[in-house]
A = this chain, B = another copy of it.
Amino acid sequence: MANSRSGETVTERIVRVLETFDTDRTVQTASEIGRRARLPSSTAHRIVADLVECGLLERDEEQRVRLGMRLWELALRGSHALRLRQAALPFMERVQARVREHTQLAVLENGETLFVERLSHPHAGANITRIAGRLPLHASSSGLVLLAHGPEELRERVLAGPLEAVSPETATDAALLRRVLAGIRRDGVVVAPGTVEAVSTGVAVPVREGRGRVIAALSVVLPRDTPTGPVAEVLRSAAAGISAALGTHRP
């Protein structure tokens, strides 16, 4: 935009503004947004006003600001994530009914695991993942599945790069991870105890689209001591169901 000292486009700044919102920060003042997005106060106020004008943001009763329903609508209306989700949801429900724990669907997004859907049983245990939340690829069962079937170039970059531990038990050794990934490709399932949280075990399988390309990972989070054998089978058949639904749902 004109005269930005920093040489940014308006678009970038809008994204930075939207980025200041997250699960535990759903309403903010315009000044807060400015600070968090590193924008001069007057600029932040103007951009926020613009976004409110367009409906992407909304003002609540106390002139604080939150994400607008219009943004939600625009993001979902034409989204293919929605198609995947709609295809997957019935099968996820079935999994959840059988396993009675957290059931989640994740995709690969910009080198990270992005969780697209999550069903939580009322009595299920801990789970840090959230819808629209992210985790590193090497640090969750879903991520490992996506990494195992992702482009080799990405796999090498992740294995080379810094592998940070999310929990004390997260595997951060490249050689070990390589064996795990090979195991996933061989077995079609991964069991990852304690990689995200010490008290829980993730079990994940790949979800394929028509031509066999892996487009998502379906996973459940179990208490650490639960036997995983039956769960894997439930997940596998659900993933097959999702693939079929994706194939037939639209010509």
Contact = CB atoms under 8 A, between A and B. Distances in A.
A125 to B, nearest CB: 16
Interface string A197-239: 0000000000000000000000000000000000000000000
Tallying the copies of this chain within the complex gives 2
A174 B75 CA distance: 35
A122 interface: yes
A81 B74 contact: no
Given A54-B12, A67-B79, A18 B74 contact: yes
Contacts of A72: 75-76, 79, 81, 132
Nearest to A69: B109
Interface string A58-75: 000000001101111111
Contacts of A75: 18, 67, 71-72, 74-76
A32 B194 CA distance: 49
Interface string A121-144: 010000000011110000000000
Nearest to A83: B26
Interface in A8-32: 9-12, 14-15, 18-19, 21-23, 25-26
A86 B76 CA distance: 16
Contact of A132 (B10, B23, B54, B76): B76
Given A70-B110, A93-B93, A82 B131 contact: yes
A54 B15 contact: yes
Given A9-B50, A11-B10, A11-B53, A26 B66 contact: no
A1 B11 contact: no
Given A11-B47, A18-B75, A23-B78, 19 more contacts: A1-B10, A9-B10, A9-B50, A10-B10, A15-B70, A19-B74, A21-B74, A21-B77, A22-B77, A22-B78, A26-B78, A55-B110, A67-B75, A67-B79, A69-B107, A72-B132, A74-B75, A86-B131, A89-B119
